[in-house]
Chain A
Amino acid sequence: MIGTLTLTLGRVPTMADSRSPAGVPIAPEGDLCVEAESSLTLLQRARAGDEAARNALCERYIPRLQRWAHGRLPASARGALETVDLVQDTFIQVLRRLDDFEPRHPGAFQGYLRLTLVNRIRDEIRRVQHRGVAEALDTASPASDPSPLEQAIGQETLERYEAALARLKDDDREAVIMRAELGCSYAEIMEALDKPSIAATYMTVSRALVRLAQEMSHDRA
Chain B
Amino acid sequence: MTTEAIITSLFIFALAGMLGLEVIRRVPKLLHTPLMALTNALSAIALVGSLVILGAQETRYATILGFLAVVASTINVVGGFLITDKMLRMFRRRERPRASAETERGS
Q: Are A and B genuine complex partners? A: no
